[in-house]
Chain A
Amino acid sequence: MSVEPGIRPDAVEATVLLDIASASIAYGKVRAVEGASLRVGAGEIVTVIGANGAGKSTLLNAAMGALPLAAGAMTFLGRDVSRLAVEERVALGLSLVPERRELFSTMSVEDNLVLGGFRVARAVARDTLAEVYDRFPRLKERRRQLAGTMSGGERQMLAMGRALMGRPKLLMLDEPSLGLAPRIVADIFRIIADLRASGVSILLVEQNARAALAAADVAHVMELGAVTLSGPAAVLARDERVIESYLGLH
């Protein structure tokens, strides 16, 4: 597969943030992911697309440490993180916005955000809170409201805001557009692009292949627990197989 100009070539090792090599992940006896590899470089948006149940979320959860690796290796900033707990990976600068958002639903928006900065110094957290409120004015308006009473789009923004409070180097987003109105989906993808512009790298798992391929630099296709296609997102978006299976309809 050719590499488009302007796209980070894989050779630039120094800028690799997350490097997953031949990872296999199992639920009990069932292997959900088999030998998957991917890398995320600094300032990059990498997306993983694929059908429901293909193993995309499993891979993200393993990257976050919520699932153990059955085989393979995983480094973050060159450090072996494969045995670190979720909490320790957060401290290193990894952050995950999970598919179910996992907000503190009976707590206020502001408490959710404050807790997002649990691992950072109080003063930094205060500044970051102001930044997050700037980025998501909606959250500022609703800061006294309980997280559980917000709309789907607002919840996704809160989940992203909470993740940003930890000042992550790599933000992993699991199906951020899931269940959202198309208009809100557009907002979310605009925010993703903004975030990259401000220096946060992003690993994006999406079923909405069209939007994900448009936003990402590099894309991987997962099928049945394996990465079956990889390459620059723009190239994949024109790939016959991708069009047939994931973009559909033409």
Chain B
Amino acid sequence: MTPPPAATHAQPLRSEAPMTARSEAALPPAAAGEPQTRNRGRLKLPPLEPRIAIAVFAAAMAALPLIPGVPVFAITLIGNIGLAALVALGLVLLTGVGGMTSFGQAAFCGFGAYTTAVLSTTYGWSPWATLPVALLVSGSAAVVLGLLTVRLSGHFLPLGTLAWGISLYYLFGTLDILGRHDGISGIPPFSIAGHDLIDPRTVHYLIWGLVIGAAILTMHLLDSRVGRAIRALRRGQLAGESFGIDAARMKLIVFVYAALLAGLSGWLYAHVTRTVTQTPFGINAGIEYLFMAVLGGAGQIFGAVVGAGLVTVLKEALQRVLPQVFGHGVQLEAVVFGILLVGLLQVAREGVWPHIAALWPARGRPVPPDAPALARRSASAAPAEKLLALDGAVKKYGGLTAVNAVSFAVGRGEIVALIGPNGAGKSTTFNLITGVTRLTTGAVRFEGMDIAGAPPQEIARLGIARTFQHVKLNPEMSVLENVALGAHLRGHAGVLSSMLRLDRRDEARLLAEARRQIERVGLAEHMLKPAGSLALGQQRVVEIARALALDPVLLLLDEPAAGLRHKEKEALAALLRSLRAQGMSVLLVEHDMGFVMGLTDHIVVLDFGTKIAEGPPAAIKTNPQVLEAYLGGVA
């Protein structure tokens, strides 16, 4: 084998391997290279409210066609940007926020466009009347494809979208009713009171009115209980599910929402261009939309408009310039796009918008004001029962028995510790209780009810809240929002009420509850910081606050004291004691024996998946078997 070509190591050597924190789930990690800090000291504009920004933008868009001398082709181009921005907006939500990459969005435009084209030509419907049907068709297609593909893990989802994107493209060109390869022409324009909107300057208002409306609704959606749940999913589902979020349903909602925006764009497109063929709904168009979302800044609402603008203008420019230089331009445009896409991911994976946004100072969110407390869980009906009881719990992985016939109980107002060497089955036991893993045999009873086999969302609903051995917070969301996620089940606002801003009272109570829990665990000063900026030990405490926000009956804490300083450990112990005094039960896994011995009422010792002892701390300390297996022979 010849020596390798000079392989330099220009990029930091953070392999994707588990040595480092990994974030596979998310597309272009926007966190890379914080533009805010990079731009410090440069030009700063006065603070800008998004509300005002949108109003200014809307006013500018409204004024544009009225300015004398603005050529019609420019208005047409801006209209095309608007059409693309609608699709890109959906992708921003789907890809940038939800972490699902789709190459197939153009197909949903096709559903919208073909639906209205057929209805308004063959059946003579008014373009306005076709809108609900167009949306219904795109939405239904999204539900079907979404049910099939949203559950796909990781990279299988984008491959799936690629496949059905191509499939649908060929299907559009095959069906007789859609005019096969010739498509459908002679589509009527929009008209208002007998007045046709043929002039790009009039239809401009319709397009941009819809874009701005969609942007506002999307912004509202993201800044809500549902939006928080969607944003949290990007960093992994387990944490969200442990607080009652139905991840699959959330993903489907986002998927359908994005498809509806694409369908809306297709509906507009059909009546603006008045001809529909399969070409604009193929996979290349789908790639282009994704390019817009990534270029603008995946996850940024305004990025969708910026990305759509840049790509559309660039495409127009290339279509004018390239044929003059090379004689044939259509595919060369693809070369330029391809190279730009590759380059973009290498130099500015976070996209353009964060750099534009950095011109304005970061808008500090205020600490949420006090609000009426959320309803508490009603007291249990069967107080005599042990709160939690494991009865002969067994978990086998293939031939390996991770948990072997373990039985123990947690009483009300009791702090119980689960100790043992790593690999003894402590985390598996936690996962069995919280529904992450299924029991092989045995039973887990909570308030006398068998909960084995229930999914994490259901367990959370019953009042069991947990923290994780490896912190599972969304590092880019604030501490406040991370904790508010814990109160998810205690709020009620849905997608529609969030978009229409009917959720404010509900939202204020959730945030106030989050604030109270953060103050309770002593992290008030960090409330508005991104969770990822806290020390690891503090992040563990944030997880405790999040768990408390669920209003739990039982807290499961996985190594809560790891990484804490002595003083912080004392504060944590004091907090847990006060919770116990209020009737809360706690089951914890912990290695710090000083912490465990001083705090707990009861200790269960596991070794090789088997319970080797249980009892009060004093008895465990002197138990010869425990000393031998875990604590080490008396030195």
Contact = CB atoms under 8 A, between A and B. Distances in A.
B422 interface: yes
B562 A53 contact: yes
A179 B423 contact: yes
Interface stretch (B8-16, B429-437, B510-518): B8-16
A178 B19 contact: no
B565 A224 contact: yes
B455 interface: no
B628 interface: yes
B60 interface: no
A52 interface: yes
B18 interface: yes
A85 B21 contact: no
B532 interface: yes
A68 B9 contact: no
Contacts of B31: 28-29
Contact of A27 (B18, B20, B530): B20
Interface range on chain B (Cβ under 8 Å from partner): 35 or more
Interface residues of A, number: 36
B635 interface: yes
A172 to B, nearest CB: 13
Contacts of B41: none
Contact of A179 (B20, B421, B475, B534): B421
Contact of A68 (B13, B421, B534): B13
Contacts of B593: 248-249
A224 B629 contact: no
B46 interface: no
Contacts of B629: 182
Given A65-B13, A98-B19, A207-B591, A54 B631 contact: no
Contact of A51 (B15, B563, B628): B563
B592 interface: yes
Interface SS of B by simple majority:
loop
A224 B20 contact: no
B621 interface: yes
A142 interface: no
A245 B536 contact: no
B66 interface: no
Contacts of B12: 68
A224 B535 contact: yes
Q: Which of A52, A178, A244, A247 has the most CB of B within 10 A?
A: A52
Interface string A223-250: 1110000000000000000001101110
Contact of A249 (B9, B17, B535, B621): B621
A86 interface: yes
A249 B421 CA distance: 16
B236 interface: no
Contacts of B628: 182
A138 interface: no
A13 interface: no
B597 to A, nearest CB: 8
Contacts of B591: 51-52, 207
A67 B19 contact: yes
Given A51-B562, A179-B422, A179-B423, A249 B631 contact: yes
Contact of A52 (B530, B535, B562): B562
B19 A29 contact: no
Contacts of B632: 182, 210-211
B589 to A, nearest CB: 11
Nearest to B592: A51
A179 B629 CA distance: 12
Contact of B635 (A28, A210, A244): A210
A178 B423 CA distance: 8
Contacts of A68: 12-14
A174 B628 CA distance: 23
A30 interface: yes
Given A210-B635, A248-B594, A66 B20 contact: yes
B537 interface: yes
Interface string A34-64: 0000000000000000011110000001000
B13 A66 contact: yes
B441 interface: no
A105 to B, nearest CB: 13
A29 B635 contact: no
B563 A53 contact: yes
A181 B628 CA distance: 11
Contact of B533 (A29, A53, A61, A244): A29
Given A51-B592, A68-B12, A68-B14, A181 B631 contact: no
A67 B421 contact: no
A67 B632 CA distance: 34
Contact of B532 (A28, A51, A54, A179): A28
Interface string A196-219: 000000000001001100000000
Given A51-B592, A53-B562, A210-B632, A32 B15 contact: no
Nearest to B23: A28
A66 B19 contact: yes
Nearest to B597: A249
A85 B533 CA distance: 27
Contacts of A32: 536
Contact of A223 (B13, B19, B565, B635): B565
Interface string B137-173: 0000000000000000000000000000000000000
Nearest to A64: B19
B205 interface: no
B408 interface: no
B482 to A, nearest CB: 15
A190 B17 CA distance: 30
Nearest to A60: B19
Nearest to B8: A85
B559 interface: yes
B362 to A, nearest CB: 14
A85 B532 contact: no
A215 B532 CA distance: 37
Interface of A: 27-30, 32, 51-54, 61, 65-68, 85-86, 98, 100, 102, 152, 178-182, 207, 210-211, 223-225, 244-245, 247-249
Those 3 A-B pairs whose CB atoms lie nearest each other, nearest first: A179-B423, A53-B563, A52-B562
Given A28-B475, A66-B17, A67-B20, 10 more contacts: A29-B532, A53-B536, A61-B19, A61-B20, A67-B19, A86-B13, A86-B15, A179-B422, A211-B632, A248-B593
